[in-house]
Amino acid sequence: MTKRIFRSTCFVAIAVLIACIVLIMGALYSYFSSVQMNQLHMQTALAAQGVNNEGLSYFDGLDISDYRITLVSPDGSVLYDCRADAGTMENHLKREEIQEALKNGEGESRRFSSTLSESSLYCAQKLNDGSVLRLSVAQKSIFTLVLGMSQPICVVLVVAIVLSLYLAYRLSKNIVRPLNELDLDDPLSNNDGYDELSPLLKRIDRQQKQLKRQANEMQKKQDEFTAITESMNEGLILLNPKGTIISINPAAAKLLDAGQFSKGKNILTVNRSLALQEVISDAVAGKSAEKIIELHERHYQVDASPVISDGAVGGIVLLLFDVTEKEDAEQLRREFTANVSHELKTPLHSISGYAEIIKSDLISPEDIKPFASKIYSEAQRMIQLVEDIINLSHLDEGADSMSFEDCDLYLMAQDTVANLSSEADASDITVTLSGDPAVIKGVPHMLSGIIYNLCDNAIKYNRPGGKVNIDIRDLASSAILSVRDTGIGIPPEHQNRIFERFYRVDKSHSKEVGGTGLGLSIVKHAAKIHGAKVSVESTPGEGTCISLEFPK
């Protein structure tokens, strides 16, 4: 803007200067022409007086270089001319100044002289004898005048141009300075420049206030969004249609090992997972997609949703959340379903086979009782399996619907020893109980189930002549239940998995001793409900000790 004002001011100043010079030169030319004509009249009057007094002898020895003198008779013939031969000159009767002089006694004119080939001023005066004396002088042209004044004109032009440039520079700066000094954040506080700017400044002030309100609202929403996304456990990533990261919360950055300078980078440079690329491609195409990817040995579900704006994909939202427990639970469910189906299928096939033999009368009457005993045994096994599954289902639901009461672990252990005495005697196992009474808050049937399953396993997986010892310890802040046997023991590689459902260390031995494979799973879940810690110590061939520490 300053340059435009500067150029405009300079142009106007120079244009006005040139116009002034032209006008002044025109005025000077007119003035000098008038002065020259007056001088010509004066010279003509003096020459006429001389000719009237002296006649043609007046011209003898007369030396005039600037003026031309011509004497014309009343009939227009030239009697004398100082610059040409009078006899060769044409008749001057029709000349304007001659006719005017013959009529009025004096005349003048301005015209181009074909004889002298220049513009001239003419002045004529009638003499006493009726002849006309005419004086003429060459009239200087405007170019001659300008040429003669070229030096002062150039000086004036240079001074005027320099002065115009300086003044234009100062003027443009002064004009723009109030605009440059405006405080756009508060335009109404300092408006000493131009009153004409008041409407504009008021509008700017309104817009500034509106922009500030909008900026504050946007900042507030941004802060809320940042606070929410930073506190999320789920990963949240915003991408543009080209896959460049616009925003990424700390959880997502940690999961993808993106770092703090990942904004502005392409998501594929941060993580090259094929599943991630597929969901992003679907989102770019305008379709929502989801995939399961593995990060840091855990499973995460990636949901990609396109952001549609004006019918086109304007961005992509990626949400990553941990589904490891869900996946593990689904895997456990599939394994549990498969195991239950397998465990139920075996006794059902046995029952079906025995029943089919009896139905077909393929056995003698004395063999019916052993077959019926087999059917009964398999049915009991199925009943026990179903009961264990029901117990596990109740334990999976938690302890919200269960009532806790004071329970003495020692008394419960005594009842368990009594209930298992016949089974222990049949297996030639000695079961002993040691320790002190220990009262804790718990669910009675669950605690009884814990002791029963531990002792039952200790008897089943023992060797003839073996021992099982149940020890109860009452401490200040906890009670410890330990069941130790001298059985076959558990190899170290299996000790972490013995609490899984249907997991058996020695499947062939398990079939011999029976059982559902859910006893230790029930123990684990019941212990979890009571907040107890479970520990296992076992040496193959020497025995196993399983301990539970119940908080009081």
Whether 220 and 287 share a structural domain: no
| DSSP annotation string for 126-174 | E-TTS-EEEEEEEPPPHHHHHHHTHHHHHHHHHHHHHHHHHHHHHHHHH
Same structural domain, 376 and 453 = no
Instruction: Indicate if 307 and 369 belong to the same structural domain.
Output: no
In this structure, the number of other CB atoms found within 10 A of the CB of residue 214 comes to 10
Residues 124 and 202 in one domain: no
**Whether residues 313 and 381 fall in one domain:** no
441-465 in b/e burial notation, b at 16+ Cβ within 10 A? ebbeebbbbbbbbbbbbbbbbbeee
CATH of the domain at 500: 3.30.565.10
How far is 501 from 452, CA to CA, in rounded Å?
A: 17
Residue 298 forms part of a structural domain: yes
User: What per-residue confidence (pLDDT) applies to 505?
Assistant: 62
Q: 106 with 15, same domain?
A: yes
Q: Are residues 216 and 305 in the same domain?
A: no
**CB contact at 8 A, 316 and 284:** yes
Shared-domain flag, residues 365 and 482:
no
In a domain, 92, yes or no: yes
Tell me which of 377, 396, 415 is where a domain ends.
396
457: containing domain = 405-551
Give me the residue label for tokens 């000086």.
155
Alpha carbon 219 to chain centroid, angstroms: 14
Kindly write down the DSSP assignment for every residue of 406-471, as one continuous string: EEEHHHHHHHHHHHTHHHHHHTT-EEEEEE---EEEE-HHHHHHHHHHHHHHHHHTS-TT-EEEEE
Helix residue ranges per DSSP H, 55-89: none
* Residue 378 falls in which region: left (phi positive, over 0), alpha (psi -120 to 50) or beta: alpha
Considering the domain boundaries, does residue 153 fall inside one? no
Same domain for 453 and 337? no
Q: Within 10 A of 482 (CB to CB), how many other CB atoms are there?
A: 19
Asked if residue 20 belongs to a domain, the reply is yes
Asked if 6 and 139 sit in the same domain, the reply is yes
Q: Rounded CA gap, 277 and 268, in Å? A: 7
Supply the CATH number for residue 293's domain. 3.30.450.20
Task: From first to last of the 552 residues of the chain, give the pLDDT tens digit.
Answer: 677 877 777 788 888 888 888 888 778 778 878 888 888 889 889 888 888 888 888 887 777 777 888 889 988 898 888 878 877 888 888 889 989 998 898 999 988 655 555 678 889 999 988 899 999 888 766 666 667 677 887 888 888 888 888 888 888 887 777 777 777 777 677 656 666 777 777 888 888 888 889 989 998 988 887 788 777 888 888 889 888 888 888 888 888 877 767 788 888 888 888 888 888 888 888 888 888 888 878 888 889 999 888 888 889 998 888 887 777 667 766 766 666 666 667 677 778 877 877 777 777 777 778 878 878 777 777 776 677 666 666 656 555 566 788 999 999 999 999 989 988 998 899 999 999 999 999 888 889 889 988 998 899 889 899 999 999 999 989 999 999 999 888 888 887 777 776 666 655 444 444 555 677 887 888 888 888 999 999 988 889 999 999 998
pLDDT attached to residue 550:
94
In the listed set 133, 148, 163, which residue is the last one of a domain according to the structure?
A: 148
Q: What integer pLDDT is reported at residue 86 of this predicted model? A: 77
CA distance 277 to 232: 23
Q: Are both 316 and 359 inside the same structural domain? A: no
The last residue of a domain, from among 299, 320, 341: 320
Q: Is residue 75 part of a domain?
A: yes
> For position 374, which CATH number holds?
1.10.287.130
Task: Give the Cα separation of 448 and 110 in Å (integer).
Answer: 148
Is the same domain home to 6 and 144? yes
- In-domain check, residue 278: yes
Residue 167 resides in a domain: no
Residue 256, domain member (yes or no):
yes
The pLDDT assigned to 395 comes to: 59
Nearest by Cα to 78 from 131, 130, 136: 131
Our count of domains for the chain comes to 5
| Residues 266-297 as b or e (16 or more Cβ within 10 Å = b) | ebeebbebeebeebbebbbeeeebebebebee
